[in-house]
Structures are given as C-alpha cells and as structure tokens.
Chains A and B, each alone.
Chain A
Amino acid sequence: MAAKGEKHSPLEQFEIIPFTRTEIGGYDISFTNSSLSMIITVAVITLFLTLTVNARSLVPTRMQLISELMYNFVAQLLTDTVGDNGKKYFPFVFSLFMFVLIGNMVGMVPYQFTFTSHIIVTFALASVVFIGVTILGFVNHGIKFFTFFYIPGVPFYMHPLLIPIEIISYLSRPISLSVRLFANMLAGHTLLKVFAGFVVAMPFFTGALPLVFIVALTGLEILIAFLQAYVFAILTCLYINDAYHLH
C-alpha cells in the first residue's frame, strides 16, 4: 500500500489542502478545506437556528427546543458570570460558542476537516476575545484599568514582583484559551485515528477490540467537543466580567 504512495499517518487528517491558489498582496488567501469546513459550520448554524425557530410556536417542537436550549444555555452563562451587564455581549458570546461547538461537531463527521484542531484558528478566536476585552476594560475604566494589575492589601515592596507576574498572567490568557481548545481537538482526533489504525493492523478478529474502543471514544470526543466550546464561552464571560469589575 505504501508503494502506491498512500499515507497512513494519524496526522494526515490535519493537512491543509488548498482548493484554489489565490494570493493577494503576498498573502496566501487560498480557499482550503479548512475554509470549506468553516463555511459549512456557519451554514449549519444559520440554517439550523433560522429553520427551527421559524415557526415560533409557543409549544416548541423538538428542534425548536434544541435552539432554545442553546440560547438559554449561553444566556444563563452570561447572567451567572457577568450579571446584567452581560446582556449586551450575548450575540458575541453566542456566536463564538456556536462557532466552536458546531465546528467541533462538524469535525466529528468522518472525512470532515476539524478546523478547531489548528492552533492558528483557535488563537485568532482567542485574540479577538482578548483584544476586545482589553479595549472594553479601557472603555469602562479608562486609565484606571491598569489598576487591574495592582493587588490591594499587599506590602508595598512586593509590588515590583507582583505587577510583572500579574501582567504576564494577563497576557497568557489568549494562549491558554487557544491551546486548550486546539490541543484537546488535536489529541482526540489523533487518538481516534491511531486506534483506527490498530483495527486494520491487528490479526484475525482481534481488531474488533479497538473498534469497540473507537465507538466509546467517539462518544467521549463528542462530549469533549461540547465541553471545550463551553469552556471557551465561560472563559470569555469571565474575561468580560473582569473588564467590568477590577478584582
């Protein structure tokens, strides 16, 4: 098989395949399988949300109920963490949550590319959150936002030590936010492929064993896909909260 030039690396699935080759101003903006996956995600979200709530029935159908559950879930998350101020940020957090969630779920479909398994995608999402929240902090508090790095009630000689630590801790937010999502998706999908390789490689019918394992693992992956979207959303809420309430 290898002689035919077929690859069997478990990492093969993360390869970016450009469908077109476009370059504008030295930047490669080719339409890739990653872009396609994102477009599918956005299309699925838009179609699902519009079609299911289209009827606007007072007694919701099952599908409408799912949409409403998602809406409530994020709305509840915002009111729990940010309070009344959070209502304004619902569209943002909801879009983010749905994009990550459905992106992960679309990635669970066999042969479908998982764009959240690329750090640049998650890092871009996290950067939007980080930059947005920082601007929000300055808009709300002006220059006083810098007191965010100042911890009250600490002996004065500790501040030269604590302020750099606080600043580094603050700057590390987008990295931990993006790495968590990316690494979870990368590890999960690689693991699935590795076990899938065992199914083929093991002799006789012993291959059924890893196959059973894959089925269980797929369930776990779906749980992780949801959990990571949830974590992404809740951390965004917490950061928005920090921009309102310093300490």
Chain B
Amino acid sequence: MVDEEKLQELKKRIQAAKVTNTPQQKTKKESGAGFGFKISTEIIAALVIGVGIGLIVDKYLGTKPFGLIIFFIFGALAGFLNVYRVMRRIEKQ
C-alpha cells in the first residue's frame, strides 16, 4: 500500500517534470522564412509527383495532354492537403 502511494507520487512527479520540460522544446519558434519554406516544399513536392504521373500516363496511354492536365490538378490538390496537414500538426503543438 505504501509502495503504491510512493509509486503514485513518483508518477505525479514524472508528469510534472514532463510538463515543465517539454515546452522548452516545443516553444522553439520557427522563423517566418523557415515556415514559408516548409509550406512551399509541400506544395512543390506534390506538384512534382502529380506532373510526373501525368507525363507517364500520357506517354504510355497516349492521352496527351489530358493526363498531364488532370494529374496536375490532382497534384495541386494533394499539395493543399499536405499544407493542411502540416498546419494541423503545428496547431496541435
């Protein structure tokens, strides 16, 4: 019983230590440029993949230029989705 109490107390102390220690890491504010960079790479990466798939589809299915157009749009939308996810992750922190 005493051990149980001790354990509980230790748990509380660990929790308290965690609370006081973690903000140090997470309040590390990013610079505006770094933030913009993160967002732009997400959009660009998705667009690169979208355009790449579009070009491949066009090449092998002979659907020039519709594959490129469609997958470019998909890529752009995927880029927005990526940005949305990044923003949500930042907000969580």
Contact = CB atoms under 8 A, between A and B. Distances in A.
Given A176-B82, A179-B44, A168 B49 contact: yes
A164 B74 contact: yes
A183 interface: yes
B69 interface: no
Contacts of B45: 172-173, 175-176, 179
The number of chain A residues touching the other chain, given as a range, is 10 to 19
Name the residue in B78, B79, B89 with the highest tally of chain A Cβ atoms < 10 Å from its Cβ. B78
Closest 3 CB pairs between A and B?
A176-B45, A175-B45, A168-B78
Interface of B: 28, 30, 34, 37-38, 41-42, 44-46, 48-50, 53, 71, 74-75, 77-79, 81-82, 85, 89
B78 A172 contact: yes
Contacts, number: 58
Interface string A147-181: 00000000000000100111011011101100110
Contacts of A172: 42, 45-46, 48-49, 78-79, 82
A37 interface: no
B89 to A, nearest CB: 8
Contacts of B79: 172
B65 to A, nearest CB: 18
A9 to B, nearest CB: 23
A178 B48 CA distance: 13
Interface in A171-213: 171-173, 175-176, 179-180, 183-184
